[in-house]
């Protein structure tokens, strides 16, 4: 299907806003149902606070495990005890998950925030096609809904 504007998450055509998964439209929102469409700079995930908390928890767990391993290696532990390589590698995984979760939670990008009834849908615009057409996207939505606004500087 041809869309006037498209990202991996949504496409816009004359029928409305199509939410996409693997280029398959699983939900279509007609333009009359869009109460507000705002193009602005914002968080690319909806539950960014929860993601930030999970990331901080994972990072804290990784630091705690690393501290315990370093304390075991260089502390007053008996010298006849062994430590396996997988025990040293254990803090790497929660640290990686924590850092990537914190990065995703704090990342800001151009987004399209759509309000329909009680629902608020955040759609990132970092992979918008055609590239660099934010102003044209705003005009396209304004012509079809009358509810498009921009809070970009």
Rounded to whole angstroms, the Cα distance separating 66 from 70 reads 6
Beta-strand pair 5-6/36-43 = unpaired
Region 4-18: what's the mean pLDDT?
89
Is a pLDDT exceeding 70 seen at residue 119? yes
Q: Percent helix, strand and coil across the chain, each rounded to 5?
A: 40, 30, 30
pLDDT score recorded for residue 54: 98
Is a pLDDT exceeding 90 seen at residue 78? no
pLDDT score recorded for residue 144: 82
Tell me which of 64 and 85 has the higher pLDDT. 64
Percent of the chain surpassing pLDDT 70: 92
Closest CA to 52 of 92, 105, 10, 118: 105
The pLDDT confidence band at residue 44, using thresholds 50, 70 and 90, is: confident
pLDDT score recorded for residue 150: 59
Tell me which of 73 and 9 has the higher pLDDT. 9
Q: Which residues pair with 10 in a beta bridge?
A: 19
Locate the domains of the chain by residue range: 5-44+107-150, 48-106
E runs forming strands in 1-153: 5-6, 10-13, 16-21, 24-29, 36-43, 108-116, 119-124, 148-150
pLDDT score recorded for residue 149: 64
Can you give the pTM of this predicted structure? Answer: 0.75
What CATH topology corresponds to 5-44+107-150? PH-domain like (2.30.29)
Is a pLDDT exceeding 90 seen at residue 60? yes
Tell me which of 100 and 40 has the higher pLDDT. 100
């Amino acid at each position: 299907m041809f869309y006037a504007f498209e990202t991996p998450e949504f496409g816009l055509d004359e029928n409305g806003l199509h939410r996409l998964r693997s280029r398959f439209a699983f939900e279509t929102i007609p333009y009359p149902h869009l109460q507000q469409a705002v193009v602005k700079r914002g968080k690319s995930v909806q539950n960014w606070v929860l993601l930030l908390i999970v990331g901080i928890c994972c990072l804290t767990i990784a630091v705690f495990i690393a501290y315990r391993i370093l304390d075991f290696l260089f502390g007053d532990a008996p010298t006849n005890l062994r430590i396996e390589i997988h025990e040293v590698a254990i803090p790497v995984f929660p640290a990686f998950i924590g850092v990537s979760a914190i990065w995703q939670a704090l990342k800001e990008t151009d987004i399209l925030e759509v309000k329909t009834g009680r629902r608020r849908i955040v759609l990132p615009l970092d992979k918008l096609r055609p590239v660099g057409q934010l102003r044209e996207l705003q005009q396209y939505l304004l012509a079809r809904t009358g509810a498009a606004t921009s809070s970009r500087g």
